[in-house]
Structure 1
Amino acid sequence: MRAFFEVHLRLVITVWVILMSVLGLLYLMNYMKFDSLMSGVVSSKLDVISSSLDTSIQRVERLGIPFHSADNLIEQFDQAKARESDVTAISLIDNNGRVLLQTTSAVNSPTPIPEDVIRRALTSNEQRWLYSDDTKLYSGLQTFGDFNNLTGSLVIEYDKTALFGVYALVRLHLLEATVVIFLITALIVFIVVRIGFADVANVLKLIHSYSSGDKSVDGKKAPDGSMSQSFAEQIKQSEEMKAQVSAELERLQSLSRNNTENTKDGTEVVK
């Protein structure tokens, strides 16, 4: 048991920590990928709306009719908004960021558009642009005049709170899958380490037993060819060698004492 805590448990915990880090990173990457995918799907639907409205806007500009007087264009804005229940506003701004036409309110009191959205709409290098924050998704299409000059942009505001339920469900499924994968992999790692490092535990037991004063190390109990058997045989050979060296030292000491006694006896006889 002590060998288990000293070797197996530490190694298993290390592998578990690494596994948790990898799975946590995969969880985050998959969630970000899903968020990007959903934004792309919503953006595709909004692009269809902006394309249809852009055709009507160009027709009104060619006729020279003021936007606030183009009843047909205002009606098309309202119909486009009605097709998508999560679209909260469709606006048309000029190249100075002023609202020219909007579905949610009168021109005199338009719903304000965030400065970051206006900046993105008028400075984007792409005609179709996208801006997203925590609760809103803004999609639009830049409009150009006869000399290919930027005249403004369509701004479609989409309420992302309608997707929060889907996001929560996806997070739950991702978390469930991550936990299941971790538990299964953690069990496999535990079994593999427990079996694969069993010989190391036996070696530690031999070392602990030998250091505790138990010199009767038996390598026959260990599997043939295992590291613990080789280690036990080396300990046994070491003990046999020590015993031989001790016996030889005792024999030499005995001879030395005998020679010393004989020398003393010879000296006394001479005297």
Structure 2
Amino acid sequence: MRAFFEVHLRLVVTVWIILMSVLGLLYLMNYMKFDSVMSNVVSSKLDVISSSLKTSMERVDRMGIPFESADNLKDQFNHARTRESDVTAISLVNQNGELLIHSSSTQGTNVPPEVLRRALTSNEVRWSYNNDAQLYSGLQTFDSFGNLSGSIVIEYDKSALFGVYALVKLHLLEATVVIFLITALIVFLVVRLGFGDVAGVIDLIQKYSKGDKQLLDKAPPGTMSQTFADQIKQSEKMKAEVSAELERLKELSKKQDKQDTEVIK
């Protein structure tokens, strides 16, 4: 059992820790990838809405009608908002951040200042702004001279996605746990079976060092333990032969000393 803890358990735990780290990283990467995909899908929907509204605005502009006075354009904004249930507001602002057209499912008529800054200062014609609760997307508009004249601002309620995110996180967690358990079991079995000989050798050394020399004859045949036991036996045999030879040499030395003493007398 001690050999199991010294060899198997340490190796298994080390592999498990590495496996947990890798699976945790994969879990995070998959979740971030899903978040990016969902954001791209929503942004694509909002881009379609803003492009459609821009086309309507161009028609109104060609007729020389101010945007805030074009009832048909206001209807287009209302229709675009109701077409996508999670869109809570669509606004048209001028270059000064003033509302020209606003269609909302709530009572509020204000566009957050940070969203206005993004809409009117972004270097990208199609811009977006994201926070914990809403996703803002829009399309900048320009006059006939190519100067910025304002921007379309679309507000999307992200709470509709929270349930989807929670479900995806649950499935990812379940898959990660299942993969870990299966792989951990495989690793345990591989280490247990593959390193059995090593554990046997360690166990043999430990018991032999405590004086259990009978264990040398009980080593399973065909294993590393038997090979190691044979080497120990051979070493013990050589040690005994060397000791016997040393004793014989000592006896000869004593006899020689005795003979030399008698000759001197």
- What's the CA shift for 1:184? 0.2
- 1:240 — aligned with what? 237
Q: Rate the CA distance shift 1:220–1:235 in 2: closer, same or farther, 3 A.
A: same
Q: Rate the CA distance shift 1:219–1:52 in 2: closer, same or farther, 3 A.
A: farther
Deviations 1:98-119 (A, max 9, x none): 322211399xx7323241x223
Q: Rate the CA distance shift 1:56–1:196 in 2: closer, same or farther, 3 A.
A: same
- 1:112 — aligned with what? 111
Deviations 1:136-181 (A, max 9, x none): 1111111121122221111100000111011101110110000000
Cα distance in 2 for residues equivalent to 1:102 and 1:59:
19
Q: Does 1:53 align with 2:53?
A: yes
2:122 aligned to which of 121, 124, 132: 124
State the SS of the aligned residue for 1:134.
coil
Answer yes or no: is the 8 Å Cα contact 1:105–1:111 preserved in 2. no
- 1:204 — aligned with what? 202
Cα distance in 2 for residues equivalent to 1:59 and 1:75:
14
Answer yes or no: is the 8 Å Cα contact 2:3–2:199 preserved in 1. yes
Cα distance in 2 for residues equivalent to 1:223 and 1:156:
78
- 1:260 — aligned with what? 257
- 1:35 — aligned with what? 35
Cα distance in 2 for residues equivalent to 1:29 and 1:160:
21
Q: Rate the CA distance shift 1:114–1:147 in 2: closer, same or farther, 3 A.
A: same
State the SS of the aligned residue for 1:186.
helix
- 1:93 — aligned with what? 93
Cα distance in 1 for residues equivalent to 2:244 and 2:185:
53
Which consecutive unaligned segments of at least 5 residues does structure 2 have?
A: none
Aligned-residue identity in percent? 70
Q: Tell me which moved more, 54-63 or 79-88.
A: 54-63
Which consecutive unaligned segments of at least 5 residues does structure 1 have?
A: none
Q: Does 1:214 align with 2:212?
A: yes
State the SS of the aligned residue for 1:218.
helix
- What's the CA shift for 1:263? 4.2
Q: How many residues end up aligned between the 2 structures?
A: 264
- 2:227 — aligned with what? 230
Amino acid at match of 1:252: L
Answer yes or no: is the 8 Å Cα contact 2:91–2:100 preserved in 1. yes
Q: Rate the CA distance shift 1:263–1:221 in 2: closer, same or farther, 3 A.
A: same
TM-score w.r.t. the length of structure 2 is 0.92
State the SS of the aligned residue for 2:171.
helix
